[in-house]
Structure 1
Amino acid sequence: MLTILGFSMIAVFMYLIMSKRLSALVAIMLVPIIFGVIGGFLTELGPMMQDGVEGIASTAIMILFAILYFGIMIDSGLFDPLISKILKIVKGDPLKIVLGTSILSMTVALDGDGTTTYIITVSALLPLYKRLGMNKLILATVAMLSMGVMNMTPWGGASAMAMASLNLDASELFLPMIPVMGFGLIWVLIAAFILGKMERKRLGVIEIEHNHTKANSEIAATTVSRDYRRPKLVWFNFILTVVLMASLIIDFMSLTILFMVAFAIALVVNYPDLKDQQDRIAVHSKNALAVVSIVIAAGIFTGIMSGTKMIDAMAITLVSLIPEPLGPFLPVIVAYASAPFTFFMSNNAFYFGVLPIIAQAADAYGISAAEIGRASLIGQPIHVLSPLVAAAHLLIGLVGTDFRDIQRFAIKWALGTVTVMTIAAIIIGVI
């Protein structure tokens, strides 16, 4: 009975959000409550939901302050020197321009927001691509490849959902994935080098005027109002960010506390005026709310799934269907399966609807939920190509192409990223 109830709940949840009859935020709260009542758990739902929300509260707070922190860094102009330097170095060499695209998009994607990454990268470099007659699909592809790897950060969305659905913290799920992401970024650079070589061979190196490069720098600088830029504090912001990243890796303190403290320091130093502080928080609250609200709401979903034992019953059924020889290879299967899963369905549907069942099933083979969670992130480079991703529509509009062309052009490079990270994860022992 619990198995049927659980799978029915997942099916209804996925149908409602994929058919856009309900928002993910509403569905993830109401659907499990309704099925909990149907299952006869009405009087027990309150404590179940409370336990679920309390279990992911720390993760939600960390994501909130991470988004706010990186928003402040972008507003203050932390990345402006990098943009200017890249534009100065690349000049009229297509190879350097594509490599510059990868470095810039990787760096800006640190904030985990595809919208910001695409706006800054395209604003800075599209004029150069047009001036030299370069293939704009390369610009879009390289930006998407970078975002596909950097989207695995805890504040990027996918990791946050995986942590919430499996009740894990960042030290269990994300920190072991940092070397794997490193290999993914190396592959992005290799892909950019290959694509750049092809463009250099097609077009050659073209001399462009210095004032054109200067104009590009000005275009990049206008992505945020100049009133909020703090060029004199670039070194302070850079050092603060390096210290923060190092602290995350060392793991001597909770990620939640680290981001809260770093945000407070960044906000006060860059914007001592109270009105400016309020403005910056208000601007970035929209992005933060979209991610954090779904993570908190997921506490109700996971709390009811666990409290009613639906997840256990579903896992037992799933284990019985998996051929015995394939059991120990579940992490590798999940790493590749997460690519089409998150392409054809939203991250919400996959991480809250499918992943917990797989993780529970894997437990029968001695595979931890953390291992399955890490494997589930590896398909993100394919996910960012999905028409279900709002930021992808923005990128396509900025570049001036369509989904069919970008998907056909980028899919093999994105699949290469998934393969490289899967192999790296196996060698390192992350999965």
Structure 2
Amino acid sequence: MLLATCGFLMLFAILFLLFKSKTLPVVVFITIPVIAAFAAGFSVDEVVGFINFGIQKTSKMAVLFIFSVTFFGVMSDAGMFDGLVNKLVSKAGTNVVAVALATAIIGIFSHLDGATVTTVLVTVPAMLPIYKKLNIRPHLLLMIVGCGMGVMNLLPWGGPVMREAIVLKMDAGDLWHILLPLQGAGIVATLGLAVVMALREKKFHGAGNVQLVETAEHKVQVADEDEEVTRLKRPRLAWANLGILAIMLAVLVVDIFPTYFVFMVGCCAALLLNYPNMKDQKERVMAHAPAAIDVSSVMLAAGIMVGVLSKSGMLEAMAVPLLHIIPASIAQYLHIIMGVLAFPLGTMLGTDSYFYGLLPLAIEVGKNYHIPGLTMAIAMLVGKNLALLISPLVPATFLGIGLAEIELKEHIRYSFLGLWIVGLIMLVFAFSIGIITI
């Protein structure tokens, strides 16, 4: 009973502090689990064992995040996607559906780095002038970007997948290979959502009635670039950079090397190709160090919580009282229920509290009803991902609505149902091909 009580108090304290933003997540994940472990009566040697176990499970993920953020940051500095963005925008012209599809494609490709802020900064400024001139409401822009972002977050270097891999104690690359068909279906669903919503905007809100003032040769600049940004661009190396990315993705799919090692090598190649001068290389690494260290430090800290929960027996003890609360008639379908509710829950819970707090508990309860942990995790992943850009707990949400000049409540009201439906479609697809079983 003491073990279960300490476990619930630990999760409640973690969720409360994360939700209320009382302190940094890294502080929460380091201090609260250690305090809970000692309160439960474990010795210093036992707690050290928990910590070592957890850190071993999360260290590879932290390395992966550091080098993936640096790699895509360098590629973004070099302007790898600039040509694609400008071409798609110019080709879309005055066709509302084409503009929506271009938005989806740009959103999908720009989120290859897994960074929400970068995706918003690439897509919204590039597309917003077109939306305004074609009388398309900017709500659609954010909805499509949010959908593409949620689907692309299923990549192995995306934060949610890495967090799930930590909880499941498996390699993020291995988890991604399971998710690949689901991600493909999500990309198709994103394009479908863009078409349906664009036609709806045309029919009910007069989108497309206003003609562009510019000629067909007009080009929309992604942003007004200062001299420093322009200095970093390497337009002549765009195809070489895309080649490096293509080779890396091929190696990841074939699964020859560990995911983190692929990005370590890719990061070296990106730096050597685009910035052969050592001073420039150091500047680029330092420029992206804050983002890389921020999340990777949280992952390492979360390893302490994972170690305490996994090795102390707290999860098993916490599952016992929950088994008495959940009716046996529906308990065997718990993963389906959690999958359906993942989207609204993902809107209300932060990423760390969702994957490090709610998910482990749901997995442990599900095991008692013969629901594999992987099944529960995948069911809960999709909805949470799609809720990324409408959650008030995600800073990129406020950046997006600020750039699009709309209110948060309007954005949520417009996007909520459409994104939830995409999540449910992906969930059904996962069942149909056996990724998730009943």
Same fold (TM > 0.5): yes
Deviation (angstroms), 1:212: 7.8
Native 8 Å contact 1:72 1:267 kept in 2: yes
The aligned residue for residue 384 of structure 1 is 389
The aligned residue for residue 361 of structure 2 is 357
Deviation (angstroms), 1:386: 0.9
1:153 and 1:395 map into 2 onto residues whose CA distance is 22
1:279 and 1:190 map into 2 onto residues whose CA distance is 41
Secondary structure in structure 2 of the residue aligned to 1:430: coil
The aligned residue for residue 24 of structure 1 is 25
1:374 and 1:292 map into 2 onto residues whose CA distance is 22
Native 8 Å contact 2:90 2:216 kept in 1: no
Deviation (angstroms), 1:338: 2.1
* Mapping 1:142-161, distance limit 5 Å: 142-161=144-163
In structure 1, what residue type is equivalent to 2:76?
Answer: I
Deviation (angstroms), 1:325: 3.5
In structure 1, what residue type is equivalent to 2:31?
Answer: L
Secondary structure in structure 2 of the residue aligned to 1:365: coil
The aligned residue for residue 38 of structure 2 is 37
1:181 aligns with 2:159: no
1:210 and 1:271 map into 2 onto residues whose CA distance is 37
Native 8 Å contact 2:104 2:191 kept in 1: yes
Moved more, 3-12 or 362-371: 362-371
Native 8 Å contact 2:346 2:354 kept in 1: yes
Deviation (angstroms), 1:298: 0.7
The aligned residue for residue 345 of structure 1 is 349
Q: Residue by residue, what CA displacement relative to the aligned partner does 1:185-218 show, whole Å, maximum 9, x if unpaired?
A: 211111111222234442446244138832x136
* Mapping 1:207-246, distance limit 5 Å: 207-210=212-215, 213-214=218-219, 216-217=220-221, 219=223, 225-246=229-250
2:34 and 2:213 map into 1 onto residues whose CA distance is 62
The aligned residue for residue 421 of structure 2 is 416
The aligned residue for residue 368 of structure 1 is 372
Secondary structure in structure 2 of the residue aligned to 1:219: coil
1:198 and 1:341 map into 2 onto residues whose CA distance is 28
Counterpart among 398, 402, 408 of residue 403 in structure 2 = 398
Moved more, 98-107 or 153-162: 153-162
Counterpart among 339, 357, 372 of residue 335 in structure 1 = 339
Counterpart among 194, 198, 201 of residue 200 in structure 2 = 198
Counterpart among 256, 262, 267 of residue 258 in structure 1 = 262
Counterpart among 134, 154, 166 of residue 136 in structure 2 = 134
The aligned residue for residue 325 of structure 1 is 329
Q: Sort the Cα spacing of 1:90 and 1:220 in 2 relative to 1 into closer, same or farther, 3 A.
A: farther
Deviation (angstroms), 1:341: 2.1
In structure 1, what residue type is equivalent to 2:343?
Answer: A
Secondary structure in structure 2 of the residue aligned to 1:300: helix
Q: Sort the Cα spacing of 1:352 and 1:132 in 2 relative to 1 into closer, same or farther, 3 A.
A: same
Native 8 Å contact 2:64 2:260 kept in 1: yes
1:68 aligns with 2:70: yes
In structure 2, what residue type is equivalent to 1:304?
Answer: V
1:163 and 1:79 map into 2 onto residues whose CA distance is 29
Native 8 Å contact 1:359 1:369 kept in 2: yes
The TM-score, its normalising length taken from structure 1, stands at 0.95
2:56 and 2:212 map into 1 onto residues whose CA distance is 59
Deviation (angstroms), 1:362: 2.1
Q: Residue by residue, what CA displacement relative to the aligned partner does 1:4-58 show, whole Å, maximum 9, x if unpaired?
A: 1111111111112212222221111100111111111132211210111011111
2:407 and 2:280 map into 1 onto residues whose CA distance is 38
List runs of 5+ in structure 1 lacking aligned partners: none
Q: Residue by residue, what CA displacement relative to the aligned partner does 1:65-96 show, whole Å, maximum 9, x if unpaired?
A: 11111112211111111112112211122221
The TM-score, its normalising length taken from structure 2, stands at 0.93
Moved more, 322-331 or 100-109: 322-331
Q: Residue by residue, what CA displacement relative to the aligned partner does 1:165-186 show, whole Å, maximum 9, x if unpaired?
A: 3322113422211211211121
Deviation (angstroms), 1:268: 0.9
Native 8 Å contact 2:10 2:36 kept in 1: yes
Native 8 Å contact 2:136 2:208 kept in 1: no
Residue-pair matches, total: 430
Q: Sort the Cα spacing of 1:197 and 1:147 in 2 relative to 1 into closer, same or farther, 3 A.
A: same
Moved more, 344-353 or 325-334: 325-334
Native 8 Å contact 1:53 1:303 kept in 2: yes
1:220 and 1:144 map into 2 onto residues whose CA distance is 24
Deviation (angstroms), 1:274: 0.9
Deviation (angstroms), 1:304: 1.2
* Mapping 1:81-160, distance limit 5 Å: 81-160=83-162
1:333 and 1:69 map into 2 onto residues whose CA distance is 38
Moved more, 101-110 or 159-168: 159-168
Native 8 Å contact 1:95 1:199 kept in 2: no
In structure 2, what residue type is equivalent to 1:321?
Answer: I
Q: Sort the Cα spacing of 1:368 and 1:253 in 2 relative to 1 into closer, same or farther, 3 A.
A: farther
Q: Residue by residue, what CA displacement relative to the aligned partner does 1:256-305 show, whole Å, maximum 9, x if unpaired?
A: 11111111111111111111111111121122122111111011111111
Q: Sort the Cα spacing of 1:247 and 1:197 in 2 relative to 1 into closer, same or farther, 3 A.
A: same
Native 8 Å contact 1:91 1:208 kept in 2: no
In structure 2, what residue type is equivalent to 1:422?
Answer: L
The aligned residue for residue 294 of structure 1 is 298
Secondary structure in structure 1 of the residue aligned to 2:154: coil
2:68 and 2:374 map into 1 onto residues whose CA distance is 22
Q: Sort the Cα spacing of 1:3 and 1:346 in 2 relative to 1 into closer, same or farther, 3 A.
A: same
1:275 aligns with 2:285: no
Q: Residue by residue, what CA displacement relative to the aligned partner does 1:134-168 show, whole Å, maximum 9, x if unpaired?
A: 21111111111111222232322211222223322
1:269 and 1:419 map into 2 onto residues whose CA distance is 43
